[in-house]
Amino acid sequence: MKLIVKCAWCGRIMGIKEIEEEEAPPLPITHSICNSCLRSLHKQTQETINNSKHHNNKRR
């Protein structure tokens, strides 16, 4: 069976994945994260961490 792989963040179709028929989910779609969204998420996470560290240092 073929599954459509879709980015859970931006909705872009990333490709098709083959799976065994007995593993088939009710809907032929699965989610992942594309490279562009992954980079963006990493950047946002790092900025949040840096801002949190900066904020915590100011309180001391």
Convert the pLDDT of each residue in 11-44 to its tens digit: 999 999 988 887 777 788 889 999 999 999 999 9
Range(s) of the domain holding residue 46:
2-59
The closest alpha carbon to 32, from 3, 6, 4, belongs to: 6
Residue 44 CA from chain centroid, whole number: 13
pLDDT of residue 40: 97
pLDDT 10s digits, 40-58: 999 999 999 988 877 666 6
| pTM score, whole prediction | 0.67
The closest alpha carbon to 24, from 45, 3, 48, belongs to: 3
User: What is the C-alpha to C-alpha distance for residues 3 and 31, in angstroms, rounded to an integer?
Assistant: 10
User: What is the C-alpha to C-alpha distance for residues 24 and 4, in angstroms, rounded to an integer?
Assistant: 12
Number of domains forming the structure of the chain: 1
